[in-house]
Structure 1
């Protein structure tokens, strides 16, 4: 199935290393901070609404998340949060940016095995500075020929990337944990995709079961299983 591959692209967050659980922890801390105004469930719902509303302005990543927390706090408190509480929100964000990089099981084994055979790249979303920091701290940079931090992961973005790499869609394979961002856009391009599910998924990345009917992609239980196909 993958005989003509030239480039293999890896998503970064929750494919190479842990990321989404840190956002869930931050949401919990944020909800505790605002517990006098609303329930945790309601706070989480309102924060998600603000995040989605702000994606076009801030994009993805911790910094946009912090700005959305600030906006949500003002809305939920009717503009009554204190400077001390603002400071605590900023500290939640700074703590997220300082988190250690925890590689997922099998990542280095997979990259070490594949790098002599294929051109490996990272194709990820998020804040450029933060993703560069995580890649540097991960110790994985030497395995990759190219790093692409995308503002969005839609069909048009992947088409542009594949054209830039000067390969055909059939010669490109994307590996990631998000069906919405890492799999379906590649299927639409008649390219290749392998889904590696992660136990925590942001609500914005969830898809309907009907969106997956008759879609041609593989799913594996963990990253090392992709070596059975490559």
Structure 2
């Protein structure tokens, strides 16, 4: 009762709450694209992936395995599929340098066809779930572009500093983020493209992650890959 009373008092006096559906007509367009990765680059044949797949099959068909054991084998299999996709995702996001300008080859050709070549203001947010995937993506992309990385180990005060840098520094072009650690509480409207290198079980978490970009303050249409 006390909590409900306090909420009522706040909303009736000083707090203004606006739901997204109430301001939807003020937001820029958001579109989604499904990208098929090159199967020749995805590492399907690694020992870890093969073993985790076989273990998952055994556990799911077992009549004695507990729910906890089955869930553990599924999570391990999920992690190994994320690792297997890293080379293909890096190729898709690969930034190359051309005389006079920088551009994202695949993003410009496949998604942002209308974007002018040489747009040095383009910023991209990349979400992944596993730390290994985050490390590989950030390591590859940061060789060419300045960027930030935030995961579950990043202190709250550091997250704000990193987000402010991404929002305000024109030279900070990429943000590699953990889906679970960064799907809420952050504003990343400086970017207009969000790429999911991995997906997550809960569609609501994915939608919240997209909306780090697609929110009031966004000046461009948002593309979700």
TM over 0.5: no
Q: Indicate the structure whose relative CO is greater, using CA pairs within 8 Å and at least 6 residues apart.
A: 1
- Give TM-score, length-normalised by structure 1: 0.37
Q: Going by fraction, where is helix more abundant, 1 or 2?
A: 1
The structure with the larger Rg is: 2
- Give TM-score, length-normalised by structure 2: 0.38
